[in-house]
Amino acid sequence: MVPSQQKLKSLVMKSALSFVFGAVAGGTLGATEVPVNQVATEIVSGTLLKPITDGMKTVGALGLGTLLGATALTTSMTAAVIGITIAASVGLLLLRTPAALGGITWTAAGLTAALATTSSGAALGAIIEKLVSYGVVNLLWALGIFTVLKLLMHIVVQFTCRERDCCGIQGVCTEDSESEQVRLDALEVEQRQRVAVEIEQRIIALEMVKTGEEGKGLELRATWEAQRRKREEVERQQWQALEVEMKQRISRRHLLKVVGKYVEFLVFSGIPMTVTASVTAGFGIFGFGDYRFVFVILLVLVLIMSFGLMRSRHLDFWMFTGCMAMFATFAIAVLTVHAGQEVAGMSVKMHKAGQAISKQNISIRIMHTSSVEAISAGFFVSKVSQVGLGATVGGPMGREAGGKAIVGACVTAVAVLSLVEVSSQIVGVGGTAGAFLGAVGAAGVAMGGAAAVAVKSSSWGGILATTAGIFFGFLVFGKWDIVNIGLQVSVAYIFAMTNLY
């Protein structure tokens, strides 16, 4: 009876701890809802909406939806990847020294990731705000130029960043490894010499005991015991040095894979979205934006590219995420068209009821509603993208560090939120939006860590307790939207369990 009670008590404690971790992560993500929604409201109610509405006349509803969706997703992905790669680079630099402390290294890397994601998101948001003010078509040119630049960057990285010489960092790490190996070899030689001397002294001591010189024999035995203890201490230090070296080598190799994988993700994942946006916006520019066959072409294009990527023999992370982003872009375009159609249908009903509405007013309402829907949907998919990419980082961290990773990510997210709210007047509405998405990414790290801890527990009780805690924390600090939080929790679990490497 006693062992069963102890087992039950242990399960209850683990479930309670999982609930707390989930509540902390969900509460942090919920705390980002209000500021992000406020920024979206400022955009749709400010002067930035007019050039977007005017752009709908040029590219059509489908073109506007795909263009804004591709821009929003590319921006959020780029900001997250910049933060991750810079953090990995900082980790490589800190691991150059054999005396680098793991806790300090990963704490510095995490803070660097949050600051880099936030600052790059703010910079990209300010750039997009400036481009949109001169016309939505500028976003199409920006996406094309950015895609070409990313391809060139990938070529440069392929030639200059190799396994043993990653932009000079790995070369320095290799030099440190070689110097450490020389030191260990010297210790081994010294140890062998001491063993030889000890054997000689022991032989001499035995001979002295046989000849009656027991005093000198005991003295030599004491010396031999002292040397034995010293040798054991040297062996212990040697094993510790080897263990530290192996951990650092594993960390370096892992960080190099992180840089390579995320650079590959940054370069290629945006290509399907850019192709989709370019085709639909191109039809709109040439005057075919309102034709139904454009929707059919868009759907066929999305299906063909998705089928080609998912049927690849080596399904990479960027292919999977690129397909999801492309379907999200397609969904934004459909929602944009649907919003305009709802306004048109309502206008027909009002006209039948005897209310006279001019065609010009109907057209203005359609463009306004469609633009607002495109912006709102773009913000939503950007948040989900940040949660997913954050979860890919938080998953491995949660499996390694447990609750420390969750708490650290939550504290970082709250600090970023406070910092952005203070500096919102300086960076503008576009920069504030991009920076807030960086905070959502940090909250996504906490969500991924909580999901990884729950799955690692290998019990349905832990998974259910964590999920319940996430919902509880989100509903306390965020909006009461079950569909919204359900989708984000599902994305966090999927990406936290995705093996990127």
> In angstroms, rounded to a whole number, what is the distance separating the alpha carbons of residues 58 and 56?
5
pLDDT digits (tens, 9 = 90+) for 134-186: 888 888 898 989 888 888 887 877 776 554 444 444 444 444 555 555 555 66
Res 168: pLDDT: 45
Q: Which residues of the chain carry a pLDDT beneath 70? A: 1-10, 96-107, 160-225, 227-228, 231, 238, 244, 351, 354-357, 401-402, 458, 500-501
All structural domains of the chain with their residue ranges: 14-81+125-150+272-496
Give the total residue count for the chain: 501
What pLDDT score was predicted for residue 453? 82
Model pLDDT, residue 166: 45
| Cα separations in angstroms, 434 against 16, 302, 392, 439 | 35, 27, 20, 9
Render pLDDT for 394-452 as a digit per residue (tens, 0 to 9): 888 777 766 777 888 888 888 888 888 777 777 778 888 888 888 888 888 888 888 88
Identify which of 343, 394, 110, 157 has the alpha carbon closest to the alpha carbon of residue 268. Answer: 157
**pLDDT computed for residue 45 by the predictor:** 82
- Count the Cβ atoms, other than its own, within 10 Å of residue 361: 11
Q: Which of 131, 135, 32, 125 is nearest to 430 (CA)?
A: 125
Q: Which pLDDT score is estimated for 167?
A: 44
Q: What is the CA radius of gyration of the chain?
A: 30
- Dihedral angle computed from the Cα positions of residues 36, 38, 40 and 44, in that order, rounded to the nearest 10 degrees: 180
